[in-house]
Amino acid sequence: MAILGAENPHDASGATVTVIEQQTPGGLATPMVWTSVAVVLIAATQWARRWLVSGAAIESLLVLYGYGLGCRIFSDIPIWTLLATFNLAYAVCSTSWLFWTVFTVLCYPIIGITCLLQFKVVSEAARKNLRRVLKELHFTRDKIALFNLPALEIDTDVDGLFVVRGVTISLSTLTLVAHGIELGIKIGDDIEFAACVDRVHIDLFRRVEVSDVYGSVKGGKPELFFGDLDSEGDHADDSMPVFGETALLRAATTGAEGFKDRPKLRTSLTGVSWMKDSTATAGFKSVKTLSADDEKAEAQYLAMLKEIRTTSTSYQAKAQVRAKAAAGEGFTELENDKDVRAAMCAELHTLPSIAHPPARSVRVTTLQNLAPPRVRNFIQRLPFLYRLLLTTVAYFHRISIKSINVAASGRFTAAMLQAKVFKHYSTDSADIRRLETRVKSWLADANFCLQLGDISSHAQVPLSSSYEITAYLKADDVVASRMVPEQGILERVIRLAGADATCFIPAFLIPHHEHVVPDKLSTEDEQSYEIKIEDADGEPKAKQGEIQLDRARKDETAIRVSAHASLPASFDQSLLDFTAALVKATKIIEIEKEFDYVATGLDTPPVTTPTSPTLTPASTFSTFDDDASIKSTSSGHSKLGNLAKNIRQNLKEGGAGQSIKDLAKDLGHSTHKGMRKALGGMVSDRWIAKMVGKVANNLQKAQGDLGYSAEIPVRLAGYRARPGLASKLLP
């Protein structure tokens, strides 16, 4: 359907505007003739009067007059074909009073839309009247625009702010465009996620198109900019280092119960203190109003879109990157758009999460409570309507994203390695201290950016609650870059042919589906689980049963995520050197732990869950047969440990004197000290580099996918039915 009166082929948002085709007008003679015929028939016959009352006659004449003026609707369909089809539909509906009533109810809104689209006088009058009535909206041509919207303050399962600087709704094309979207989420006191996107274009019941998305993960006080945020009385310890272990553990655990001080939350995310919480009514009263004159309204609309575009964080970051490159600073050599987006992420990392906060915010819980209790109770009894709505929305709105670019500081990763891997071992060993320096020097001064390009995504929501919700995401290109802005270094450390992910979500996690949430584990259920484990056919089935029983005891369910990376893959040499140093450090730390167990008199090391995935490559590389020295050294170390344990056991059983025990203890300490000095020789740099290079070369030639599956635990306590809920009408 064409847009009446559109003069510019492109609006300020970049969307293409369809200009109506000027037909060769047939003049007003033909419409006047048919009007005269219609008047005679209406005056003479009963069926013609019924035809007039239904609106079919009025619509037919309006289409004819539009044809005469050269601006009718559905210009691609021949005029007489359109009129014949429309009146044939009326003839069929006129055979039944029920169908005739339905046809009449639908026909008059069509008449109004036809007048708006065909006749300029009617459309101008409607726009002026709507601007007087809808004072909070901006109505220009066929579009309704909203600016200065209140922020959405998230206060449910997560804490954060969501800002949309402008929204445009096109009535003729049924499209919705959101401009200047910004998101900030508090994961903990010291961890924050920020994202921004310039434009989201939604073609209702067709598709969703998203422009470049830029995200940033910030950790530590220097990257959060606006001070600490206390949660549940938790205060930062100023005596600890910025990236110390205590700060990291606190960041991973705080915020789970929600931030109670909402003003501090808004200040931390925006950097301003004048943002106020408000009701939905007060928030929407702050929406900007514009002139009632068509030309002024159009000019103000385009000016606001231009302001949103030119003041967005991505636009400013891109301008900053280009300015530094022209001045010979920062990244002076950017080969393509991927490098430009990575450099922009480095600039965005220094900006607040919400760079353009509005004056007011409205909480999610406030919007949830807008409906009266009776209405909420009635909706709660109809969970099928939720599934039907989500099924329709998911099926008709396939999402395509131009790119997703997420950056993080290497300092945060270095702090995690210090807290989880190196710990205190670097103070006792010069080799570990040297490797730690190599690892941190590659991380600490750099930013890292993960880029996913040409993303397509869609979801399937079943109508039956017995099936799972399935979401798919596929990226045609994956690039990870390392950036050092001060030195102008930008290198691609990882490049993949693509990636995809599939997510399986239980249907009972949809709101108002507490009637299908699994029951709590009873004694009988636990006994049946135990019997099933005992009768399991093989160790894998028994282990699987133990995991299911443990999950049932914790009253949890799981969201399953399966991700695949498409091979071949390429790796930068600096990444391989970093990996080799990290593998060697983890291997030496493993041996250090074993020496500590022997020195303390433990027979076997305690079984612990690995705290870092970096320990896995080290244990894997130790199984290669390329270096016999590693095996022989490890074997010798094992024999030495067994000898020490046997000596201690014999001393205990034989009741030897204290002097003999002291001699054995001194001997053990001397041997331990000597073995510590030999750790650097036990783990060969050359061998590890050879193994890492061999794996990288194989991945560069391999074909297929490299996959990983995981489960995200979800507590069921918050999804269970509350006392007093009514029964379901449509479960």
Give per-residue pLDDT as tens, 467-500: 999 999 999 999 999 998 888 889 999 999 999 9
Residues 83 and 153 in one domain: no
Q: What is the mean pLDDT of the chain?
A: 78
Listed residues 58, 86, 118: the one ending a domain: 118
* Region 24-52 average pLDDT: 81
pLDDT class for 266, splitting at 50, 70, 90?
confident
Q: Within a domain: residue 565?
A: no
Residues 258 and 306 in one domain: yes
Q: Which of 64-73, 309-318, 673-682 holds the top average pLDDT?
A: 309-318
- SS3 of 377, please? helix
Q: Do the Cβ atoms of 587 and 429 come closer than 8 Å? A: no
Residues 143 and 33 in one domain: no
pLDDT class for 158, splitting at 50, 70, 90?
confident
Q: Do the Cβ atoms of 198 and 180 come closer than 8 Å? A: yes
Q: Nearest CA to 676 among 579, 561, 613, 599?
A: 599
- Evaluate if residue 207 carries a pLDDT over 90: yes
Q: Do the Cβ atoms of 110 and 59 come closer than 8 Å? A: yes
Q: Do the Cβ atoms of 574 and 445 come closer than 8 Å? A: no
Q: Within a domain: residue 589?
A: no
- Evaluate if residue 728 carries a pLDDT over 80: yes
Residue 147 exposed, middle or buried by CB count within 10 Å (0-12, 13-18, 19+): buried
Dihedral-angle region of residue 550 (phi above 0 means left; psi in -120 to 50 means alpha; beta otherwise): alpha
Q: Do the Cβ atoms of 46 and 92 come closer than 8 Å? A: no
H/E run at residue 415: helix 410-417
pLDDT class for 144, splitting at 50, 70, 90?
confident
Q: Do the Cβ atoms of 58 and 111 come closer than 8 Å? A: yes
Radius of gyration over every alpha carbon of the chain, rounded to an integer in angstroms: 34
Q: Within a domain: residue 224?
A: yes
Residues 110 and 145 in one domain: no
Instruction: Determine the Cα–Cα distance for residues 522 and 328; give it in Å rounded to an integer.
Output: 70
Q: Which amino acid, one-letter code, is at 202?
A: I
Instruction: Determine the Cα–Cα distance for residues 298 and 355; give it in Å rounded to an integer.
Output: 27
pLDDT of residue 678: 52
Crossing angle between the packed helical segments 337-348 and 313-326, to the nearest 10 degrees: 110
Q: Do the Cβ atoms of 277 and 262 come closer than 8 Å? A: yes
Fill in the DSSP letter of residue 704.
Answer: E
- SS3 of 194, please? strand
Residue 205 exposed, middle or buried by CB count within 10 Å (0-12, 13-18, 19+): exposed
Instruction: Determine the Cα–Cα distance for residues 49 and 43; give it in Å rounded to an integer.
Output: 8
Q: Do the Cβ atoms of 177 and 200 come closer than 8 Å? A: yes
Q: Within a domain: residue 73?
A: yes
Structure tokens at 550: 């443990």
Q: Within a domain: residue 163?
A: yes
* Region 458-473 average pLDDT: 94
Residue 432 exposed, middle or buried by CB count within 10 Å (0-12, 13-18, 19+): buried
Residues 147 and 94 in one domain: no
Span of 68-82, 148-162, 493-507, 626-640 with lowest mean pLDDT: 626-640
Instruction: Determine the Cα–Cα distance for residues 585 and 603; give it in Å rounded to an integer.
Output: 25
pLDDT of residue 635: 45
Residues 285 and 200 in one domain: yes
Fill in the DSSP letter of residue 353.
Answer: S
Q: Do the Cβ atoms of 314 and 346 come closer than 8 Å? A: no
Instruction: Determine the Cα–Cα distance for residues 154 and 258; give it in Å rounded to an integer.
Output: 10
Percent of the chain with pLDDT over 90: 33
Residue 67 structural domain: 29-118
Q: Reply yes or no: is the peptide bond before residue 518 cis, omega within 30 of 0.
A: no
pLDDT of residue 34: 83
Residues 215 and 176 in one domain: yes
Question: Could you tell me the end-to-end alpha-carbon distance of the chain, in angstroms, rounded to an integer?
Answer: 39
* Region 516-543 average pLDDT: 91
Residues 48 and 179 in one domain: no
Q: Do the Cβ atoms of 150 and 361 come closer than 8 Å? A: yes
Instruction: Determine the Cα–Cα distance for residues 161 and 270; give it in Å rounded to an integer.
Output: 9
Q: Within a domain: residue 244?
A: yes
Residues 234 and 365 in one domain: yes
- Evaluate if residue 714 carries a pLDDT over 50: yes
Per-residue HEC secondary structure of 111-140 comes to HHHHHHHHCHHHHHHHHHHHHHHCCCCEEE
Q: Within a domain: residue 398?
A: no
Listed residues 65, 84, 118: the one ending a domain: 118
Residues 35 and 66 in one domain: yes
Whole-model pTM: value is 0.71
Q: Do the Cβ atoms of 21 and 75 come closer than 8 Å? A: yes
pLDDT of residue 294: 65
pLDDT of residue 616: 34
Q: Within a domain: residue 170?
A: yes
- For the stretch 407-427, pLDDT in tens is 988 887 888 788 888 887 878
pLDDT of residue 598: 59
The total of structural domains in the chain comes to 2
Residues 268 and 362 in one domain: yes
- For the stretch 232-259, pLDDT in tens is 433 333 333 333 333 333 333 333 344 6
Fill in the DSSP letter of residue 402.
Answer: E
Q: Nearest CA to 134 among 143, 304, 122, 177?
A: 143
Residues 95 and 201 in one domain: no
H/E run at residue 67: helix 56-69
* Region 119-143 average pLDDT: 68
Q: What is the phi/psi pair of residue 439, to 5°?
A: -65, -50
Listed residues 343, 370, 397: the one ending a domain: 370
Instruction: Determine the Cα–Cα distance for residues 614 and 628; give it in Å rounded to an integer.
Output: 23
